[in-house]
């Protein structure tokens, strides 16, 4: 979300959510703070101050921003997002921690090479803490295909954009499960304003949880991309 960006008309979105969620703790992890983004040429993004905003009802013992691996070519990196995750450690009665992680992985990296590095980082992170008995919940924009529901659709395959990649098959090895709603598209392309049935749509947003976390329900919310190029996803989870 933006704090002060030309693209969002200087609206401090983080503060707006803070004001509306006064009974929640809030954290903000910077990942996009540049003086000027010169693209697209005809209508540049301009100055941008953005990051990962999180809002929690639970007592958070510690918050950590982890820089994700992988860098673009130096010129592009000057104007690109510094990809990161933000971890929230919530103490549990049994002495372990619930680790809730806000995720936003790279997009448009050639061949998904940077995303491969980021996925390896996350795999090592979540297995390390799960083996220690902690409860792991990672949620956000993965910028990778999270559902196979469209893979038999020839029209989907024909329109498959170069930026969309699939996660490694062994990514969830070690005891992890996806909480994804296959019935609601979570992202659309930005080639033009949204027209239902015309824009490319798919599912790249959702949650990944360890086996000691029960997925009670997960729901995508079809807002017709009214205020964003994404639709939100919510889940009800239970610690086992």
Question: Could you tell me which of 203, 212, 73, 190 has the C-alpha nearest to residue 136?
Answer: 212
pLDDT tens figures, 150-186: 999 999 999 999 999 999 999 999 999 999 999 999 9
Percent of the chain surpassing pLDDT 90: 86
Q: How far apart are CA 28 and CA 55, in angstroms?
A: 9
Q: Could you tell me which residue, 110 or 152, shows the higher pLDDT?
A: 152
With contact defined as beta carbons under 8 Å apart, do 84 and 50 qualify? no
CA–CA dist 178, 138 (Å, integer): 10
In Å, how far are 56, 91, 116, 142, 211 from 63, measured between CA atoms? 12, 12, 25, 21, 23
Average pLDDT in the 4-9 region? Answer: 95
The pLDDT-based confidence of 75 (bands split at 50, 70, 90) is low
| Per-residue pLDDT at 40 | 84
Per-residue burial over 183-219, b = 16 or more CB atoms within 10 Å of its CB, e = otherwise: ebbbbbbeeeeeeeeebbbbbbbbbbbbebbeeeebe
Q: How many CB atoms lie within 10 A of CB 96?
A: 16
The DSSP letter of residue 168 is P
Query: What pLDDT is recorded for position 70?
Result: 81
What's the pLDDT at 79? 66
Q: Is residue 190's pLDDT more than 80?
A: yes
Whether 26 contacts 13, CB under 8 Å: no
Domains identified in the chain and CATH numbers: 1-57 (no CATH), 58-239 (3.60.10.10)
HEC states along 60-124?
A: CCEEEEEECCCCCCHHHHCCCCCCEEEEEEEECCCCCEEEEEEEECCCCCHHHHHHHHHHHHHHH
Owner of token pair 């296959």? 182
pLDDT of residue 76: 64
């Amino acid at each position: 979300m933006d704090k002060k960006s030309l693209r969002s008309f200087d609206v401090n979105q983080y503060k707006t959510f803070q004001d509306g969620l006064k009974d929640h703790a809030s954290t903000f992890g910077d990942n996009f703070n540049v003086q000027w983004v010169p693209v697209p040429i005809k209508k540049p993004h301009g100055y941008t101050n953005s990051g990962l905003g999180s809002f929690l009802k639970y007592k958070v013992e510690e918050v950590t921003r982890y820089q994700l691996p992988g860098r673009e070519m130096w010129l592009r990196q000057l104007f690109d997002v510094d990809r990161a995750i933000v971890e929230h450690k919530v103490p549990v009665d049994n002495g372990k921690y619930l680790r809730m992680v806000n995720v936003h992985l790279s997009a448009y990296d050639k061949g998904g090479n940077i995303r491969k590095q980021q996925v390896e980082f996350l795999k090592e992170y979540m297995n390390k803490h799960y083996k220690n008995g902690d409860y792991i919940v990672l949620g956000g924009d993965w910028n990778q295909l999270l559902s196979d529901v469209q893979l038999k659709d020839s029209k989907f395959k024909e329109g498959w954009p170069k930026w969309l990649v699939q996660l490694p098959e062994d990514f969830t090895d070690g005891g992890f499960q996806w909480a994804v709603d296959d019935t609601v598209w979570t992202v659309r392309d930005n080639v033009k304003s949204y027209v239902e049935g015309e824009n490319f749509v798919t599912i790249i947003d959702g949650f990944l949880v360890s086996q000691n976390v029960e997925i009670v329900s997960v729901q995508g919310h079809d807002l017709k991309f009214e205020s964003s190029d994404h639709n939100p996803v919510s889940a009800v989870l239970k610690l086992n």
